[in-house]
Amino acid sequence: MEKKARIYVAGHTGLVGSALVRALNREGYLNLVMATHQEIDLTVQTDVSEFFACERPEYVFLAAAKVGGIMANIVYPAQFIYDNLMMEANIIHESWKNGVKKLLFLGSTCIYPQMARQPITEDALLTGPLEPSNAAYAIAKIAGLKMCQAYNQQYGTKYIAAMPTNLYGPHDHFNLETGHVLPALLRKFHEAKRQGRPQVVVWGSGGPIREFLYIDDLAEACLFLMNHYEGDKIVNVGTGSGISIAALADLIRTITGYEGEVVFDKTKPDGMPVKVSDVSYLKKLGWQAATDLRTGIGRTYNWFCRQGFAGD
């Protein structure tokens, strides 16, 4: 990307989008195109069409998405599939209509089968049934990456697709009901410490293995891919290392300074038993994550505390 190029970051106020803006600014990309949800509804085709015709971006980072934790995915599957399908379809199509030079679509490793061989390689896509708890979201993301490939095939576009693992960091959603596991646990332990609660209840058995990537590392990976990669092969973005939910809870307990008991509610769903991505292809391209989990959680917790304990 040229330093003066017009770059559209779709979803710039979210966890991923805000990290992308920080990374772009650090690298000297200052001609950024951004619009809030109040300014443009990305699920409405006419709004997106008018926006692209007016702004004429040259590069697009498609980071806009409706996201949430396991319970949100179970309760709101219609919203997850509709909103994500509409946003990605509108942005990808208008990028083609308006001559965008290159687009990076951000998916998720939840696109892979529930019982995929671990660590999960990119060729595991569509080789088995999805995890039921987030199937609606996963199907929408699969449609987005397939749309990128279809436009490349028919129109010769240069649209690439990255599949990040579980993300965390500043600007995350710390909602106890709808947030992802790591930010939700951070808030839960933080509030338990402040209120002197004798125990913290963690959903599930504690046994599932998950991989976590610090958000600023993802942003750096996205810039790397935009500048150094093109092709239809999807690319996993992660650390390649997993941790059990029980061990994660213990680490967060240590970082927040909580001294009470941790109890696991086994009546709540676990989701996939193991989900760790194989990132050997990305390493072969020349990039790997730099932030270890303890450091990343510490930074995230410091940011959360600076927000005045609001969290939402």
- Cis previous bond, 119, omega within 30: yes
Q: Is 203 annotated as a binding residue?
A: yes
Q: Is 104 annotated as a binding residue?
A: no
Pairing of strands 209-210, 243-244: antiparallel
Active-site pick, 112, 137, 168, 258: 137
**Helix 293-306 to helix 245-256 angle, to the nearest 10 degrees?**
50
Q: Is 99 annotated as a binding residue?
A: no
Q: Is 171 annotated as a binding residue?
A: no
Q: Is 164 annotated as a binding residue?
A: yes
**Nearest Cα to 146, choosing from 232, 45, 235?**
232
What tokens does 129 get?
């049934």
Q: Is 16 annotated as a binding residue?
A: yes
Q: Is 180 annotated as a binding residue?
A: yes
Q: Is 46 annotated as a binding residue?
A: no
For residue 174, how many other CB atoms are within 10 A of its CB? 22
DSSP class of 121: P
**Nearest Cα to 291, choosing from 220, 230, 225, 231?**
220
Q: Is 308 annotated as a binding residue?
A: no
Query: Residue 137 catalytic?
Result: yes
What is d(CA 214, CA 195) in angstroms, rounded to the nearest whole number?
28
DSSP class of 131: P
Dihedral pair phi/psi, residue 154, rounded to 5°: -85, -35
Whether 173 contacts 15, CB under 8 Å? yes
Q: Is 12 annotated as a binding residue?
A: yes
Q: Is 185 annotated as a binding residue?
A: no
Q: Is 298 annotated as a binding residue?
A: no
Catalytic residues: 137
Per the annotation, binding residues are 11-17, 106-109, 141, 164-167, 180, 188, 203, 210, 270
Per the annotation, binding residues for substrate are 188, 203, 210, 270
Per the annotation, binding residues for NADP(+) are 11-17, 106-109, 141, 164-167, 180
